[in-house]
C-alpha cells in the first residue's frame, strides 16, 4: 500500500524530464515509480518499429481508413537511476498493484467533435498494454493523420492518459463527493449525444466523463484536520473527483445491466439519481494515479513503413488478454477469429510469458448489396495448469475491441480489506471482535454453489477468495459481511452482489455504523421554449423512517416537503446507518402532479421500503411512483437448503427491465450459531392508474450436492410474497404476479384546493 503523503517529484536529464515516486506505507525503504505511457514496439521483417499503423482504404465513394496503435506503461532505466541518485542507492523498488485501470485517448478529427475521447481497458498485468483502433470516416480524416504524424518533429497533439487505482489510506481529511442529477440532466439538453454510446461500456465511460467535467454536476468538499500544501490539496481534490466519476460510472453500468442490451439506447442520465459519498480520515481508499503523455511523430523513414494504402476496406480487431494467466493458474488461452474475408479461421495463443495483445487483420468482406460486413465469429479454448479446461461457444461480435477477462476464462478472484472498523485486537475498548466474509461463487456450467468464509480481526489486512473451478461464472459473485461484537451481538449485512470488472478489484469493508444519505429526486421534462411538459410533478410531502431492527423503539425520521416544484427538485437526508440485514427506510406520503390534460391530481405513496442501501427517485413520462414487494424467506427449511436465489423483473417494450436478484442464505458463526436471512424489498417504479405485473424465479440449493433446483410459486398477498418451505413442485421456471391499478390509484384535486400535509390523512 502506498503512502500518498510521502511522494516526490524527481527531475533529471538537466531538468527536462521528471518522475513521481511514492513511498510504501510500512516499508520506508520501498518506493514505487509512476510509469508513463508510450508507444509499444513491434518487429516487422526483422526491424523494430513503433506499434502504430495507418491504413487508408479507397472505395468508389472516396477514402477512409483506420489508425491502430498500442500504448503501454513503462519506466525507463534513466528514471530508476535518477530516483536512486536522489533517494539513495540502497532503496528498493516495488511494482504498483492496480485495482482498476482505464486508458483514454484524446484527439480531434474533421469528422468528429473537438477533443473527442476514446476509452479502452488495458491488460491487467505486465505493461498494461492498451490497443486503440480509430475509424477514419473521411479522406479529410486520413489527411489529418498524415499531417500530424508525418513530421518527425516533437510530439503530436494526441494525448494518452491512464486512470489507474491502487490502495492507499486517506490522510487527515474528510472528503465528501456529491453528484447532482438535476445539473447533469440540464447539461444533457444542451449537447447532442449519440444515443448508441449507452449500449457500450466504453461509450458510457467517456460520455459520463464529459458530463462530469463540463456540467458542474459533481462537487467535492474537503475538510482538513491538518492543513496540507497546495500541491497535495490539489492531488486529493483530483482523486476525489475521479472517484466520483467512477461512482457515477458504476451506477450507469448497473442501470444498463437492468435495461439489457436491447434497451441500452433508451438510457438517460436521468436514470442515475443524485447521491453523496463520504470518505473518512484513515479510510482505505482506491487512490487514483493518472500518468499522461503525447504520442510521438515519426521521421520519413519510419513513417513510410507505418503508412499503407489498400483498395478495399479492412477488418481490424484488437484482442486484449486482460486476465493475469500466471496468477490464475492458466497455462494457455487460444483465441480464434473466423471472418468471411479470410479463407480460414486464424488463432493466437496467449500464455503467461507472451504478449497480452493480438491484432487481427483481414481484407474486408462485402455482402450481395456491396455493404461491408463487420461481424465476425470468435471463440476461445482455456487450458489450465491443472484440472479440466473448456472451449467457449462460438460468439458473434462487430466490435474492433475484444477483451478476454478473468470471468471469461472461468476464473474469479476477489480481495477484501477492512477499513476504520473498531477491532478489539487493535484497542481493547473497541466493540468488534471479528468480521466474517462469506463469498458465494456460482459457475454457469455445473450449477454447483461454492461458499467460502474468511475471518478478519484487524484493519488493512487483505483476504483473498479464488474460484473452485475453471468454468465461466457469467454473473456476479455475492458476499455477506457479518460483524461479531465483543458483547455477543451479531450484525449481518444484506448479501451484496458485485459484477466482476475486467481488471481485479478490491472490495473495502467499512465500519458497521456510518453516515448514510437518502436522496429524493424529481425531474420534470421541458419543451422548446423552456416551459414544463405534462405530466409533471408539482409537489411532494413525504416522510421517511429509518430503523435497523423490526419493532425497535429507535427510529430516525425526516420529512421531504415542497409544494411548488417546477423543473427539478433534489434534497438529501443524512443519518447514521447500521449495516444490518434488517435495516430499512420506509417512505410514506403524497405526490401532487398535473396530468396530460393539466388536471391537478394526487397519489399516495404507502409503505415503500428500501433495505440497507437506501435510494429513492421519482421518474416521470408518464408519472411513475415507487412500489415495494417484500420477499419473505422465514418459512424456508434452512436445514435442507444452503441458499435460495430470487430473480425478479418486470417486462417493458424493450424486454426485461427493473431486473434485480437476491440471495437468501443463513450465516454460520465459528461457534456454530446460525443467523437466518431477513426479508428482501423489491422496489420499482410503476405507472399510476395502470395495471402491471412482475415475474420471478426461485432456485433452491440443496445441502450436500450444492446444486440448484427450481422452486415452486410462493404465496403472494398484500404486497408480500412468502417463499415456499421447500422446492417440491417446482417445475415452472418463471412465475407472474399481476398488480391491480388500485394499488396506486390517483384522485383529482380541484384547482381551488390547497395541497398541503392535510392530504396525508
| pLDDT tens per residue across span 100-154 | 889 999 999 999 888 889 998 888 777 889 999 999 999 999 999 999 999 888 8
569 versus 751: the higher-pLDDT residue is 569
What does the pLDDT read at residue 193? 46
- Looking at residues 657-668, what average pLDDT do you find? 86
Instruction: Report if residue 720 sits inside a domain.
Output: yes
553 with 491, same domain: the answer is no
Which residues are registered as beta bridge partners of 38? 72
Assess whether pLDDT exceeds 90 at residue 83. yes
Instruction: Report if residue 364 sits inside a domain.
Output: yes
- Looking at residues 664-678, what average pLDDT do you find? 90
Report how far apart, in Å, the C-alpha atoms of 679 and of each of 63, 638, 667 are.
Answer: 61, 15, 15
599 with 526, same domain: the answer is yes
pLDDT above 70 as % of the chain? 89
662 with 745, same domain: the answer is yes
Does pTM surpass 0.75?
A: yes
Map residue 445 onto helix, strand or coil. coil
- Looking at residues 643-671, what average pLDDT do you find? 84
Report how far apart, in Å, the C-alpha atoms of 713 and of each of 633, 635, 639, 728 are.
Answer: 13, 13, 20, 10
pLDDT per position as a tens digit, 531-556: 888 888 999 999 999 999 887 888 99
Length of the chain (residues): 761
Q: Quickly state the pLDDT bin for 754 (edges 50, 70, 90).
A: low
What does the pLDDT read at residue 759? 43
Q: What is the dihedral of CA 102, 108, 113, 115, to 10 degrees?
A: 50
Assess whether pLDDT exceeds 60 at residue 262. no
Instruction: Report if residue 280 sits inside a domain.
Output: no
272, 179 in Cβ contact below 8 A?
Answer: yes
462, 480 in Cβ contact below 8 A?
Answer: no
Assess whether pLDDT exceeds 70 at residue 621. no
Instruction: Report if residue 173 sits inside a domain.
Output: no
262 versus 491: the higher-pLDDT residue is 491
What does the pLDDT read at residue 197? 47
622 with 484, same domain: the answer is no
**Closest to 739 measured CA to CA, from 679, 651, 654, 664:** 651
173, 222 in Cβ contact below 8 A?
Answer: yes
407 versus 375: the higher-pLDDT residue is 375
540 with 486, same domain: the answer is no
Phi, psi of 617 (to 5 degrees): -150, 150
Instruction: Report if residue 379 sits inside a domain.
Output: yes
Assess whether pLDDT exceeds 90 at residue 175. yes
What does the pLDDT read at residue 127? 83
- Looking at residues 640-656, what average pLDDT do you find? 85
Domain's final residue, options 387, 404, 421 = 404
What does the pLDDT read at residue 271? 65
597 with 563, same domain: the answer is yes
Instruction: Report if residue 238 sits inside a domain.
Output: no
What does the pLDDT read at residue 758? 40
567 with 444, same domain: the answer is no
559 with 632, same domain: the answer is yes
**Closest to 24 measured CA to CA, from 234, 238, 168:** 168
**Closest to 744 measured CA to CA, from 706, 703, 687, 695:** 687
Domain's final residue, options 454, 484, 509 = 509
- Looking at residues 155-162, what average pLDDT do you find? 95
* Domain count along the chain: 3
579 with 456, same domain: the answer is no
Domain's final residue, options 460, 491, 509 = 509
Say how far apart CA 736 and CA 743 lie, in whole Å.
Answer: 17
What does the pLDDT read at residue 266? 57
Beta strands at 365-366 and 357-363: parallel, antiparallel or unpaired? unpaired
710 with 621, same domain: the answer is yes
What does the pLDDT read at residue 435? 96
Instruction: Report if residue 567 sits inside a domain.
Output: yes
What mean pLDDT is reported for the chain?
Answer: 86
Assess whether pLDDT exceeds 50 at residue 463. yes
Assess whether pLDDT exceeds 70 at residue 619. no
Instruction: Write out the residue range of the structural domain in which residue 326 sits.
Output: 312-404
CATH of the domain at 372: 2.60.40
What does the pLDDT read at residue 190? 56
pLDDT above 90 as % of the chain? 46
Instruction: Report if residue 204 sits inside a domain.
Output: no
Say how far apart CA 268 and CA 191 lie, in whole Å.
Answer: 13
Q: Which three cell numbers stand for residue 29?
A: 525503504
537 with 485, same domain: the answer is no
The residues near 195 (Cβ < 8 Å, ≥ 6 apart) are 265
Map residue 63 onto helix, strand or coil. strand
pLDDT per position as a tens digit, 464-482: 888 777 776 655 678 899 9
518 with 660, same domain: the answer is yes
Amino acid at each position: 500500500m502506498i503512502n500518498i503523503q510521502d511522494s516526490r517529484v524527481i527531475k533529471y536529464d538537466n531538468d527536462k524530464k521528471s518522475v513521481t515516486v511514492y513511498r510504501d506505507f510500512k516499508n520506508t525503504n520501498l518506493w514505487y515509480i509512476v510509469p508513463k505511457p508510450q508507444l509499444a514496439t513491434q518487429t516487422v521483417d526483422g526491424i523494430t518499429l513503433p506499434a502504430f499503423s495507418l491504413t487508408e482504404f479507397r472505395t468508389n465513394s472516396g477514402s477512409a481508413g483506420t489508425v491502430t496503435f498500442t500504448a503501454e506503461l513503462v519506466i525507463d532505466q534513466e528514471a530508476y537511476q535518477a530516483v536512486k541518485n536522489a533517494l539513495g542507492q540502497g532503496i528498493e523498488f516495488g511494482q504498483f498493484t492496480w485495482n482498476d485501470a482505464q486508458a483514454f485517448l484524446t484527439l480531434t478529427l474533421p469528422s468528429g467533435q473537438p477533443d473527442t475521447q476514446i476509452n479502452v481497458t488495458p491488460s491487467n498485468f505486465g505493461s498494461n498494454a492498451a490497443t486503440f483502433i480509430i475509424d477514419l470516416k473521411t479522406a479529410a480524416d486520413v489527411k489529418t493523420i498524415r499531417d500530424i504524424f508525418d513530421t518527425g518533429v516533437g510530439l503530436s497533439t494526441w494525448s494518452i492518459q491512464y486512470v489507474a487505482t491502487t490502495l492507499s489510506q486517506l490522510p487527515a481529511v474528510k472528503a465528501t463527493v456529491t453528484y447532482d442529477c438535476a445539473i447533469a440532466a440540464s447539461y444533457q439538453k444542451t449537447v447532442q449525444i449519440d444515443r448508441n454510446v449507452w449500449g457500450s461500456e466504453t461509450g458510457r465511460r467517456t460520455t459520463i466523463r464529459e458530463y462530469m467535467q463540463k456540467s458542474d454536476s459533481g462537487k467535492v468538499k474537503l475538510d482538513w484536520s491538518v492543513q496540507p500544501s497546495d500541491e497535495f490539496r490539489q492531488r486529493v481534490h483530483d482523486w476525489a473527483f475521479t472517484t466520483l466519476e467512477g461512482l457515477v460510472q458504476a451506477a450507469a453500468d448497473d442501470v444498463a445491466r437492468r435495461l439489457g442490451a436491447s434497451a441500452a439506447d433508451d438510457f438517460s442520465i436521468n436514470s442515475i439519481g443524485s447521491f453523496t459519498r463520504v470518505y473518512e480520515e484513515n479510510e482505505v481508499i482506491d487512490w487514483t494515479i493518472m500518468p499522461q503523455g503525447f504520442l510521438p511523430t515519426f521521421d520519413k523513414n519510419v513513417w513510410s513503413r507505418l503508412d499503407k494504402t489498400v483498395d478495399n476496406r479492412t477488418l481490424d480487431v484488437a484482442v486484449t488478454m486482460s486476465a493475469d494467466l500466471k496468477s490464475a493458474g492458466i497455462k494457455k488461452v487460444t483465441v480464434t477469429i473466423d471472418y468471411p474475408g479470410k479463407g480460414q479461421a486464424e488463432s493466437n495463443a496467449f500464455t503467461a510469458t507472451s504478449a497480452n495483445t493480438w491484432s487481427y487483420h483481414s481484407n474486408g468482406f462485402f455482402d450481395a448489396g456491396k455493404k461491408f460486413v463487420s461481424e465476425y465469429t470468435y471463440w476461445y479454448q482455456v487450458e489450465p495448469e491443472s484440472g479440466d479446461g473448456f472451449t467457449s461457444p462460438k460468439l458473434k461480435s462487430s466490435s474492433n475491441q475484444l477483451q478476454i477477462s478473468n470471468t471469461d476464462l472461468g476464473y474469479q478472484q476477489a480481495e477484501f480489506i477492512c477499513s476504520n472498523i473498531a477491532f478489539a485486537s487493535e484497542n481493547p475498548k473497541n466493540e468488534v471482535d471479528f468480521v466474517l466474509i462469506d463469498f458465494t461463487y456460482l459457475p454457469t456450467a455445473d450449477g454447483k454453489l461454492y461458499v467460502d468464509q474468511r475471518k478478519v480481526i484487524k484493519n488493512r489486512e487483505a483476504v483473498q477468495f479464488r474460484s473452485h473451478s475453471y468454468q465461466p461464472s457469467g454473473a456476479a459473485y455475492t458476499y455477506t459481511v457479518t460483524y461479531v461484537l465483543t458483547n455477543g451481538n451479531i450484525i449481518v449485512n444484506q448479501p451484496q452482489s458485485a459484477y466482476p470488472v475486467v481488471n481485479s478489484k478490491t472490495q473495502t469493508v467499512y465500519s458497521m455504523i456510518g453516515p448514510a444519505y437518502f436522496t429524493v429526486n424529481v425531474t420534470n421534462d421541458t419543451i422548446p421554449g423552456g416551459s414544463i411538459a405534462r405530466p409533471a410533478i408539482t409537489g411532494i410531502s413525504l416522510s421517511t423512517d429509518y430503523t435497523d431492527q423490526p419493532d425497535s423503539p429507535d427510529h430516525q425520521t425526516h420529512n421531504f416537503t415542497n409544494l411548488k416544484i417546477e423543473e427539478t427538485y433534489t434534497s438529501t437526508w443524512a443519518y447514521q446507518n447500521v449495516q444490518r440485514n434488517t435495516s430499512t427506510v420506509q417512505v410514506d406520503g403524497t405526490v401532487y402532479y398535473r396530468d396530460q390534460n393539466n388536471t391537478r391530481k394526487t397519489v399516495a405513496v404507502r409503505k415503500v421500503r428500501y433495505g440497507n442501501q437506501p435510494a429513492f427517485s421519482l421518474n416521470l413520462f408518464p408519472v411513475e411512483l415507487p412500489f415495494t414487494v417484500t420477499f419473505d424467506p422465514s418459512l424456508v427449511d434452512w436445514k435442507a437448503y444452503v441458499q435460495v436465489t430470487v430473480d425478479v423483473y418486470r417486462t417493458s417494450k424493450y424486454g426485461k427491465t427493473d431486473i434485480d436478484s437476491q440471495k437468501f442464505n443463513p450465516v454460520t458463526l465459528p461457534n456454530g450459531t446460525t443467523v437466518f436471512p431477513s426479508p428482501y424489498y423489491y422496489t420499482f417504479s410503476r405507472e399510476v392508474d395502470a395495471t402491471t405485473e412482475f415475474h420471478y424465479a426461485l432456485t433452491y440449493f440443496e445441502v450436500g450436492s450444492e446444486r440448484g433446483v427450481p422452486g415452486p410459486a410462493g404465496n403472494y398477498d398484500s404486497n408480500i410474497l412468502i417463499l415456499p418451505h421447500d422446492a417440491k413442485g417446482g417445475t415452472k421456471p418463471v412465475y407472474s404476479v399481476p398488480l391491480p391499478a388500485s394499488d396506486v390509484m390517483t384522485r383529482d384535486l380541484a384547482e381551488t384546493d390547497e395541497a398541503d400535509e392535510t392530504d396525508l390523512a
